[in-house]
Structures are given as C-alpha cells and as structure tokens.
Structure 1
Amino acid sequence: MSSNTDESEVIMLNENEIKNSSSKVKQYLAALTVSFGAFAVGTVLSWTSVALPYVTNNQQNSAQDFPTFKITHEEEALVGALLTVGALVSAIPSGCLADKVGRKKAILITMVPLLVNWGLISYVSNTWLLLLARFIAGMGVGGYCVVAPMYLAEIADASCRGTFGSFFQLFICAGILFTCLLGPITTWTSLSLILAVVPGIFICIFLFQPESPLYLIKKERISDAEVTLRYLRGPRYQVKKELMVLQKDIEDSCQKSRSLKDILTTKRYKKSLIAVLGVLLFQQFSGINALIFYTVPIFQASGSTLSPTLAAITVNIVQVLATYVSSLIVERAGRKLYLFISAAGMFLCLVTLATFFYVKSFNSEISQGLGLVPIISMVVFMASYSIGFGPIPWMLLGELFAPEIKAVATGVAILANWIFAFLVTFFFPILNLKLGTHVTFYVFSCFMLVALVFIRYVIPESKGKSLMEIQKMLEN
C-alpha cells in the first residue's frame, strides 16, 4: 500500500509527466465487451413475450419443436414472477462474490445460470421445469446487474464513464429487440438454442478482458493493477500518479468499517444509498416493465388498427435508437438534466395514455386518428425513458458508492430494484382489472411528478468527476 514517500512522490510529479494522453480504444473495447452480457440479459427478459403463447391454453402446437403441455394463467404469471425472485436471491451474494473472486470472474459466473436456463427450456417437458428454468435465469440476470455496473465504472476514466454506463441499457434494449424479431420466425426449441449461443459468445470474448484495477489494488496486486491501467489507458499514458492516488484512496477506504449499519448511519454513504434507491424506484414505478411486458395487450385494448405485434416491434426499435443516441450525448450535459427531461417526458405520456383510456371507457368507438394516440405516446415514452431513467440509474450505481461499501450497497440496491420490478409487474394487471387502465397510468404519472422533485433536491451531479471527487462532494 502507499506510504508517505508515495504521497510526496505524487505531489512532485510535474504536469508534463502526468498529462492525460490516454487512449480510449481499449477502454471502449472492454466496455462494449462486458456490455454484451446485457444483450444476453435482454434476451431473457423478452423471451416470455414471444414464447409463452406456445404453452398457453388458447394455442395448439404440433409435437415437433414445440412443448406439448399447457400452462394456466396463474402459472403464466409465475413464469414472469420467478425471474424476479431468482434475481432477488442472487443480488447481495453477487456483490460479495465480486469482492471475493473479482469482478471479471463474478461476471463470467453469472452467465452459467443463463446457459442452464436455455438448456432446460429447449427440452422442457412440464411446467415445473419451465418454472425452475426461469428462476435459475433470474439468478444470472440479478447477479450480472450487480457486478457489471461496478466493472464498467472501475475501468473507465471520468471523461467516458457516463458513455460506458449507457452501454448497459443499450445492450439490454438490443437483446429485447433481437428476441422480438427472432420469435415470429423460429420454433420454441430453435429460439432457445439460438439464444443459448449469446451467453456462450460472451464468455468467449470476455475472457480476454482485464480485471478491474480497483479490485487488484484492494487485493494488493499492485503490479497487476499497473499493467491493467497501462492496457486500458494506452502505452503513452503515465499511470504512475493514477495508480498512487488509487492506492491511497483504497487504503483509506479499507481502514473504514463496511457494515450495513455504517452505510445507514454515515452521512455520505446514506446520501448515496438514498439517491440510488430513489432513481431505481422511480425507474420501475414509471411503469417501464409493465409497458414492455404488456405492450401487445395495451395496443389490443386501445382499439388501434395497427397490428399489436408490429406496434411492439416499433416501440422496441425506438427504444434501441433512443438509447444509442443517449450514449452519444450523455457526457454533453449533467446526469440531473437528462433525468429531469426523462421524468417530464414520461409524465406527459402517461397522462396522455391515462386520459385516452379514460375517454375510451365511456366511448369504445374511437376514430382511427385517435386510435394512434397509444402508439405515439408509447414511442415518446420509450424515447424519454431511454435518454434518462434507462441508462443513468446504472451509471449512478457505479459512481456514487464508495469502494468500501460498493459490494454490499450495490447488492442492496439491486435487491430493491427487483422488489420494485416485482411489485409493478405483479400489480399492474390487478390494478387494470379492478380500477381500470386509466387509473393505473395516472398512478404511474404521479410517481413521475414526485421524481421531478427528487431529482432536483436529492440527486448529486456526478458528471466529469472522479470516483473519489464524488465521495468528497457527498461528504459536503
């Protein structure tokens, strides 16, 4: 670890020696590679929308390449719910695993449940095996969502950390779109086998990426950390100062307690946890997962003349394009501005959708022009979500937590995120049935109003700051 000599050496380094001449090519390569795992996660999330109709009671299948068993509506709900339950189970252990074996190994381990999931689904013979497969898939999804944002934040310098964070959401959206496009032209078995290739490819390409330099320093593997930094920053970059600063910061953080009690009682830890939990809550209670899972039923209920399947694909394409644009512009303005624009846009779209369904409850004969309102609202909603509440909560997850609490705090945050996701997806159809679709969308819009206040007064601005500068800001 660093000593007084190290600290004085840092101070003595002149500006020419430490001038940032880093190449970002290797950083982008590592970020894109690890984000390809999010593509695999996206295929798991969207699989139900294209595959479950084959095993519901209202569709007949031939024995070849399709399951011969059927599931009830209650079992169909369980197929979706067990994914979130599996994610809940793996959230906190995954953070601890990342601290024990390293970010890279932990990420690779999260792909194993996805491979098992696709293997079981490809040759599933009964409902229980299907439910088990989805639970196992959830464990992989939950674990990846814990460790990947940590890795992305720790390999990047401050100038490109925001862009890398947006890759996470971009690849999830791409995986969702890929599955939606593949579903209509494949069978149950061929779809599962094709999607099983995705985590296999990820394992092969991610094996060649380096471990997180922060993890290596925490394990006192200083020479390995220097090699990794030199690889990521380029051969002309002077890594000496960055390495010494990281050593000192990690040494300071390792001397501090890291219990959950300390996280809840220490000012900067508590502020970072509240900020992250808040954005994750509003991310889910925007209704995003409910709108994705129930896109086809929403368009069917709207009475729109556009094909529900085509409408769903259109919405997914818009989400991918908007997330890609977000990755290009995310570093041009602050995190808070994009979150504010995102929340405001989603609020307007949710109010529009709610009003549409309220009017429709009184007049079921809606003209074709008015019938386009749902798809326009959904498209704008997805665009608004994708520039703010889609990518930025995952960025904040990697940016706001101090190194000494990152594993535990990230696990807690992801655990909470999946609880929020479960509540929204579970209660959305119930609220629709009991109170009406318009009431449900009005409820979501109220959450977005509160989000605007939360963003203004609670979320810290982390753009352009190093991880340690963010901690000093939280302290003050």
Structure 2
Amino acid sequence: MQKGSNLYIYVTALSANLFTFGVGIGYGWSSPALPKLSGSVDPEQNPLPEPATVSEQSWMASLLSLGAMTSPIVTALLAEKIGRKKTLLIFSLPMVASHLIMVFANKVFHFYIARFLIGVSVGCMFTVIPVFAAEISQKHNRGVVGLILNVMMTCGHLMAAVVGPYVTISALSIISLVPIVAFLVIFGLFIPETPYFYALIDNKTEAERSLMRLRRTASVEQELTEIIKSVKELKLSQNRNFVELFTDRYHLKTLVWVIFVLFFQQFTGMIYIISYTQKIFDTANTPLSGDVEVMIFTAVQLVAVLFSTQTVDRIARKVLMIGSLVLMLLPNAAMAIYFNLLDSDYDVSVVSWIPVAALIVFISAYNLGIGPLGFVFEGEIFDPNVKAWGVTVGTCFKLLVQFLAAMFMPSLSQALGFFVPFWIFAGFTLIGIVFIRICIPETKGKSFLEIQHYVRNKK
C-alpha cells in the first residue's frame, strides 16, 4: 500500500507540475529568443520588421515578472473559493494564449502582451502549486513532492535552452504548447481536488473520496480526521487578517527578514543571468558557441537542483545560505573583472574559459543554497496564523525584484559597460552575506513553536 500510495502521489504531483514545466520554458525563452529578435543571431528568423532594441528586449524579458506580480493575491483567494485544481486550470489558459500569440507575432507589442500573459500564469504557479503539493502529500514524502516543482521548472528551462537555438520563435511557441495542453488534459480529467479543500468547504464525502484516490486505499479514516481537525484550526486562525502582518511587531519583523532574504536571493543576478545567458556568453567571446554553453549551464543547473535534495535537510540553513552567497560572490566578481578587461581591449583569449566556469559555479551555488532555502525560510519563519499572507507578499516582492533586475540591468550595461551589473550583483551578494550572518535565525531542526519563541525574544 505504501509503495502504491507513493507512486500515485508522485504521478499526481508530476501531472500538476506540467504547469511548472511550462513556466520553466517561459523563464528560459528569453535566452534563445532575444538574440534572434535583436538580429544578432539568425537574423533571417526574426519575425519583426526591425531588430528589437535593448529597451524592447528588456521589456520582453521583464514583463513576465511584472505579469506574475498581478496574480498571487487573486489566485490565493480564488483557490480558497473554487479549489486549487480549478484555479490552476483557469490560470493555465493565459499561458496557452501567450504561446498562440507568439506563433503569429510580428510586432514588438505582440511579444509584450504574450510575455505579460505567461507571467500571469507564473504568479499562479508560485502561489497554488506549493499548496496543492503539500495537500496531496504525506509526512514522509512531502519534501520529495515539493522538490518536483524545482525539478520540473529546471527541466522546462533546459528544454528551452536545448531546443530554442535551433528552431524559429514560432516553432518554439508551438513546442511550448505541448506540456501545457498535456497539463489541461491529464490534470483536468484524471487528477482529484485536494482533500484539504473539500474539508475547507465542509464536504466530508468528497474529501474522503479524494483521499482514497490519492492513497489508493479505503482506510483513510484516521488521516481524514486529522485533516478536518487541522482545517478547523486554520479557519480559526484566519480571523487574523492581512493587516496584522504589518501591524503586529513580531509578524512585521519576520516579514522584513523574508523580504531581505528574497531580495538577496534575486539580486545576486539570477534572473539577469537566466534571461540573458546566451547574450552573456556571446559577448564574452568564449571558446564554444553561446547556445552550446547555455545548454551546459542549464544542465548543470538541473544536476544542482537534484543534488540539493541531499543537502537541504542535512546542513544548517545559515551555513548553506552564507556558503552559497560566498560562492556566488566570486563568480560575479570574476565576471565583472573579465568584462572590464574585455571592454578595455585587453587580450582575454587565454582566460576566455572564465565566464563558463564562473556561471557554472554561480548556478550550482544558487541551487544548493540561497535558491531553495529562500523559500524554505519563508515557509518556516512566519507564524502559522499569517503564513499564507506572508508567503504571498514575499512572492510579490520577489517578482518585483526580478522585474527590476531584468528590466534595468541591460540598459545599464549598454550605457556604462557590460561589467557594471556584475559589480552591482557582487556588492549586494556581499551585503547579503553580512545580513544573513547577523540577523537571520537558524531554523533547521526547530519546531514552529521554537522558531516563534526565538522571534519574539530576539531584540
């Protein structure tokens, strides 16, 4: 029964995360698509009448994050009213519309609309998929089920990196429709709503039926009782509303901690590097072609995501976060120095391998530390009474930082030099190391009660 239960839960989680796979493609789209739209790579494949300017490329890359900021609060509320499953199905449709628009797009504003729409789906994914995953899983497999989100998003990013350079933008959009259509069919027709949602709306019969499907057994009375009890406690705690997150001294303190951790998570350069990976490699005059190096970079990212499952729960949170930031500081500084020398017309051919090595170290360090642990930290540090709102606010803030980094850094690099963004990222990474070392509490191995006791007693 245990193996069968696990298998069906994993299948259910994989089905839901076909949505996440599509989001990964959306994040990875910029790297192969923007060089074509700018005319710097395969200009004959550019559907635009004129090459896209740096400003237009910045908007295309960053509008995904701007669109994503619009949906977390709406989808969080909707998921409580109509269910997690229906909310995911509804908000997968903007992603479908996005790819259909890009199949036929031949004007810049077409791409603006498409990228904003896919962002709307991204915001839903960040908000609802973790809730769905937590509510279908059991105590012993919750970590693995939650990790599927990161794995599937990275796989989508890898697919964009492997396929994108060798097909037209229109063809890439058609290919990108496959996982989201598969999601609509498989998830829509064969996957149940979570038992927690049915318990939330006092439908015990459907809650039991859903739990029996997920566990592949009729013996669910004990777990169903626990679910109903936890949902009743949650309803009582929801009397504490959104305002308390900002008015209660201790809740506000944890919100500030989360905002700073997510800021340093994002402003180390992750979104900038992911969005412009091929352009970075092409500009650096590295030994291999930019598209091949992007594939290597993204494959390493996937390996790091998989390996992170072996480290996240074995090493102290602060040690991993600080260690990863230190390892990310070095590549950022190395990239800044390299591009500074390149802009100054120094011969860098002897060390042209540095950008590839630096970004491989960067992406590995991110996914082994601050990347996953930024989200783990916000899930652990908030009081359960305000956790849902706290995580939603944190998600919106993270997406805002993504938008700012993807929007303004390319223009800054064009005006002041390609090395400038990397010095900025290195500076914020250094500040992040100091902040986490001094301010952030260790949460590994502590109960929620112990964490809240620490928060309320820390001066």
TM-score, normalisation: structure 1: 0.84
Q: 2:264 aligns with which of 271, 282, 290?
A: 282
Say which of 357, 366, 371 aligns to 2:348.
366
Match of 1:38 among 5, 20, 30: 20
Partner of 2:390: 409
Q: In structure 2, do the counterparts of structure 1 residues 101 and 474 end up closer, same or farther at CA, with 3 Å as the change threshold?
A: farther
**Alignment of 1:211 onto 2:193:** yes
Alpha-carbon distance change, 377 to 429 in structure 1, aligned in 2, over 3 angstroms: same
Letter in 2 for 1:165: G
Equivalent positions of 1:95-244 (< 5 A) are 95-207=76-188, 208-233=190-215, 235=217, 240=222, 242-244=223-225
CA shift, 1:270, in A, is: 3.5
Q: For residues 16-50 of structure 1, what are the alpha-carbon distances to aligned partners after superposition, in whole Å with 9 as ceiling and x for unaligned?
A: xxxx9995333323332222221100111222322
Equivalent residue number for residue 50 of structure 2: 70
Partners of 1:71 and 1:127 within 8 A in 2: no
Q: Distance in 2 between matches of 1:179 and 1:133?
A: 16
The Cα of 1:96 is off from its aligned counterpart by 1.3
Cα distance in 2 between the residues matched to 1:87 and 1:110? 11
Partner SS for 2:271: helix
The amino acid that maps onto 2:68 is A
Q: Is the CA contact (8 Å cut-off) linking 2:211 and 2:220 kept in structure 1?
A: no
- For the residue of structure 1 that corresponds to 2:309, the secondary structure is helix
1:51 aligns with 2:42: no
Asked if 1:351 corresponds to 2:351, the answer is: no
Say if 1:290 and 1:136 are closer, same or farther in 2 by CA, change over 3 A: same
Cα drift, residue 253 of structure 1: 3.4
Cα shift at 1:161: 3.0
Distance 1:93 1:165 in 2: 22
Equivalent pairs, count: 453
Amino acid at match of 2:261: V
The one-letter amino acid paired with 2:365 is S
Q: In structure 2, list runs of 5 or more residues that go unmatched.
A: none
C-alpha RMSD of the superposition: 3.2
- Amino acid of the structure 1 residue aligned with 2:346: S
Q: How far, CA to CA, are the matches of 2:410 and 2:455 in structure 1?
A: 40
CA contact (8 A) 2:62 2:402 kept: no
Could you tell me how far 1:381 is from its partner in structure 2? 0.7
| Matching residue's letter, 1:81 | S
User: Counterparts of 1:23 and 1:334 in 2: how far apart (Å)?
Assistant: 31
Residue 408 of structure 2, aligned match among 391, 402, 427:
427
Instruction: Compute the displacement of 1:173 (Å).
Output: 1.5
| 3-state SS, counterpart of residue 71 of structure 2 | helix
Question: Does the CA contact (< 8 Å) of 2:32 and 2:291 recur in 1?
Answer: no
Separation of aligned partners in 1, 2:219 and 2:247: 39
Residue by residue over 1:44-93, the C-alpha shift from the partner in whole angstroms, topping out at 9 and shown as x without a partner, is: 1222322334443567866xx87353353133322223222211222221
Q: Deviations along 1:258-316, whole A, 9 cap, x unmatched?
A: 43211123356435533433332122101011112222232233332222222122111
After superposition, the Cα gap between the structure-2 partners of 1:53 and 1:380, relative to the gap in structure 1 and judged at 3 Å, is closer
Q: Name the CA distance, whole Å, in 2 between partners of 1:253 and 1:293.
A: 39
Q: For residue 317 of structure 1, what is the aligned residue in structure 2? A: 299
Task: Tell me, in whole angstroms, the C-alpha distance in 2 between the residues paired with 1:375 and 1:382.
Answer: 11
1:94 and 2:93 correspond: no
Q: Which residue of 1 aligns with 2:285?
A: 303
Query: Shift of the alpha carbon at 1:396?
Result: 4.4
1:139 alignment partner AA: V
Does the CA contact (< 8 Å) of 2:62 and 2:404 recur in 1?
A: no
Amino acid at match of 1:291: I
Secondary structure of the 2:286 match is: coil
Shift of 1:230: 4.7
Paired amino acid for 2:181:
G
Q: Name the CA distance, whole Å, in 2 between partners of 1:345 and 1:29.
A: 35
The alpha-carbon deviation at position 147 of structure 1 amounts to: 1.2
Amino acid corresponding to residue 176 of structure 1 in structure 2: H
| SS of equivalent to 2:346 | coil
1:406 shift after superposition: 4.8
Structure 1 residues 402 and 105: alpha-carbon distance in aligned structure 2, compared to 1, 3 A threshold: farther
Q: Name the CA distance, whole Å, in 2 between partners of 1:464 and 1:212.
A: 28
TM-score after normalising by structure 2: 0.86
Other structure's SS at 1:193 match: helix
CA contact (8 A) 1:103 1:147 kept: yes
Uncovered stretches (5+) of structure 1, i.e. residues with no partner: 1-19
Deviation at residue 139 of structure 1 after TM alignment = 1.0
- Name the residue aligned to 1:14: none
